[in-house]
Amino acid sequence: MPVSAANPATASNPRVVIIGAGASGLAMGINLLKAGNANFRIYEKAERCGGTWRENTYPNVACDVFSPSYAYSFEPNPEWGWRFARGEEIQRYLERCERKYGLQPYIEYNCEIDSARWDGQQWQIRTKDGREDRADALVCAVGALHHPRFPEIPGFGSFAGPAFHTAQWDHSVDIRNQRVGIIGTGSTAAQVVPGIVDKAGTIALFQRTAQWVLPFPDKKYSEAFKARRRKYKWLARLHHWFDLQLFQKVFTGAVRGKKLQLWMVTREVKKSLASIRDPELKQKMTPPYPPACKRLVIAQDFYPAIQKDNVEIIGDDIDSIVPEGIKLKNGRVVELDVLVYSTGFWPYKISIDIIGNQGLHLNERFEGSPLTYRTIGVPGFPNFFTLFGPYSPIGNNSIIENSELQIGYVMRCLELIQSGRVRSLDPKLEVAQRLKEEMRQGMQGTVWASGCQSWYLDANGDPIVYPFGLEQFTHEMREPQLDEFIVA
């Protein structure tokens, strides 16, 4: 059953299919409309847009980069209520953008793509409910962290009470006065714990590895401040720009091993750790690796929350999950009423079967140690573009900014297709391999390679992160280099 072309397609506009209506997918659609190309379709498996911010509704969910920089460059948001925007206000912002830019007619909701196959000319797309579409270019905007990862612990599934992942928070479960167990102490758990500490009876936080925590102060924006930003658009733009610079200069510099920035971050996280009053707890919360090796946890309320009387940090190894709770290797059984998995995600996992040249499946390229071309393409997959795919710049900066840079690159590739200069662009394998090796070399000296376990690492222990900083990335995204592609 072919999808009806309800959009005003013109012959000269390449048809584009976008997978996912999260922050990146929406921005891609808006950019196409701005460029006069209405010949596209966004497929979204859920009933609403928003991606991460639609799915993650756990208590106290918020963005941990400054809100003014967590907005599209073309749509600064004067309405942010907090320095670290709450999940629901980001969701509202994205839904507002979807309406304002007239994207709704271009989005197929509740429609999950099952497979996409390059037939030598175009992408042939099939949805799970049997619909078909075709596209000159396929843009994958499914997000980096989207498939919840459950721990491989013996007895998984045997807990007698409610148990769920933070990305699938079960709001029907009343945690008031309950004994809540949380496995994992990443950025998510650091938000959940303060979010429920005054409601839950007790919290048992199972910590395998302590994290460095930067208690950057949050701030509520006053109505007068919002009104000023609404009235003077330049003020919102300036704020957007300033916060981007601040995050880039401090955090990107720190993770890339810039001495001053790393010293500043290290000093702050150590100062915050030193503020824990109980020496035994302080010892437990001391990470065994250098600051920022794992993604920095930015939370001002985490350390105060774990020092409340009803919270216990359990650093002993877990033996198994049992119907009553969690059994530790030392024999103790921690009895629980509710169990929460805050155990992160399968990074860059794509559940769609994407098949490129010669029957190559995308997952073969992504498995173990992913191979991409300049973060936006994959050799063997012509006219296939990933937004925020493996090796994209990450590390406590705004992913919206990264996506916009990548979208700029994709738009320039589409212009080449539209102009008739090229029909398809397939990144050369040897170029992608060379660039990957350059990135591997570039990782040396960054904190990601300083010896810790994190979702930043591939199966070889190499970071799947862009190591050269945003300035170079911006430069790379400026213009497609045709000699790096097999051009048809």
Q: For residues 17 and 145, which CB has a smaller minimum distance to ligand NAP in the complex? A: 145
Q: Does 50 participate in binding ligand NAP (rule CB under 6 A)?
A: no
Q: Does 69 participate in binding ligand NAP (rule CB under 6 A)?
A: no
Q: Does 208 participate in binding ligand NAP (rule CB under 6 A)?
A: yes
Of 44, 64, 458, 484, the residue at the interface with ligand NAP (CB under 6 A) is: 64
Q: For residues 66 and 123, which CB has a smaller minimum distance to ligand NAP in the complex? A: 66
Of 141, 145, 293, 465, the residue at the interface with ligand NAP (CB under 6 A) is: 145
Of 16, 30, 63, 269, the residue at the interface with ligand NAP (CB under 6 A) is: 63
Q: Does 153 participate in binding ligand NAP (rule CB under 6 A)?
A: yes
Q: Does 186 participate in binding ligand NAP (rule CB under 6 A)?
A: yes
Q: For residues 404 and 426, which CB has a smaller minimum distance to ligand NAP in the complex? A: 404
Q: Does 406 participate in binding ligand NAP (rule CB under 6 A)?
A: no
Residue 193 CB, shortest distance to ligand NAP, in Å, is 11
Q: For residues 350 and 400, which CB has a smaller minimum distance to ligand NAP in the complex? A: 400
Of 111, 183, 314, 339, the residue at the interface with ligand NAP (CB under 6 A) is: 183
- Residue 475's contacts (CB-CB under 8 Å, 6 or more residues apart) are none
**Number of chain residues interacting with ligand NAP (CB under 6 A):** 24
Bridge partners (DSSP) listed for residue 205: 182, 313
Of 343, 372, 403, 446, the residue at the interface with ligand NAP (CB under 6 A) is: 343
Question: Which of the stretches 184-192, 321-329, 368-376, 427-435 binds ligand NAP when contact is defined by CB under 6 A?
Answer: 184-192
Q: Which residue has the tokens 């993770």?
A: 255
Q: Does 22 participate in binding ligand NAP (rule CB under 6 A)?
A: no
Q: For residues 208 and 423, which CB has a smaller minimum distance to ligand NAP in the complex? A: 208
Of 109, 164, 241, 455, the residue at the interface with ligand NAP (CB under 6 A) is: 455
Of 14, 25, 59, 184, the residue at the interface with ligand NAP (CB under 6 A) is: 184
Question: Which of the stretches 10-18, 145-153, 373-381, 428-436 binds ligand NAP when contact is defined by CB under 6 A?
Answer: 145-153
SS3 for the chain, per residue?
CECCCCCCCCCCCCCEEEECCCHHHHHHHHHHHHCCCCCEEEECCCCCCCCHHHHCCCCCCECCCCHHHCCCCCCCCCCCCECCCEHHHHHHHHHHHHHHCCCHHHEECCCCEEEEEECCCCEEEEECCCCEEEECEEEECCCCEEEECCCCCCCCCCCCCCEEEHHHCCCCCCCECCEEEEECCCHHHHHHHHHHCCCECEEEEECCCCCCEECCCCCECCHHHHHHHHHCHHHHHHHHHHHHHHHHHHHHHHHCCCHHHHHHHHHHHHHHHHCCCCHHHHHHCCCCCCCCCCCCEECCCHHHHHCCCCEEEECCCEEEEECCEEEECCCCEEECCEEEECCCEEECCCCCEEECHHHCEHHHHHCCCCCCECCCECCCCCCEEECCCCCCCCCCCCHHHHHHHHHHHHHHHHHHHHCCCCCCEEECHHHHHHHHHHHHHHCCCCHHHCCCCCCCECCCCCECCCCCCHHHHHHHCCCCCHHHEEEC
Residue 54 CB, shortest distance to ligand NAP, in Å, is 14
C-alpha span between 397 and 254 (Å, rounded): 12
Q: Does 187 participate in binding ligand NAP (rule CB under 6 A)?
A: yes
Residue 298 CB, shortest distance to ligand NAP, in Å, is 7
Residue 58 CB, shortest distance to ligand NAP, in Å, is 9
Query: In this chain, which residue has its C-beta nearest to ligand NAP?
Result: 186
Q: Does 453 participate in binding ligand NAP (rule CB under 6 A)?
A: yes
Tokens for 416? 């080449």
Question: Dihedrals φ, ψ of 265, to 5°?
Answer: -65, -45
Q: Does 265 participate in binding ligand NAP (rule CB under 6 A)?
A: no
Q: Does 209 participate in binding ligand NAP (rule CB under 6 A)?
A: yes
Of 185, 202, 403, 406, the residue at the interface with ligand NAP (CB under 6 A) is: 185
Which residues here bind ligand NAP, judged by CB under 6 A? 62-64, 145, 151-153, 183-189, 206, 208-209, 295, 318, 342-344, 453, 455
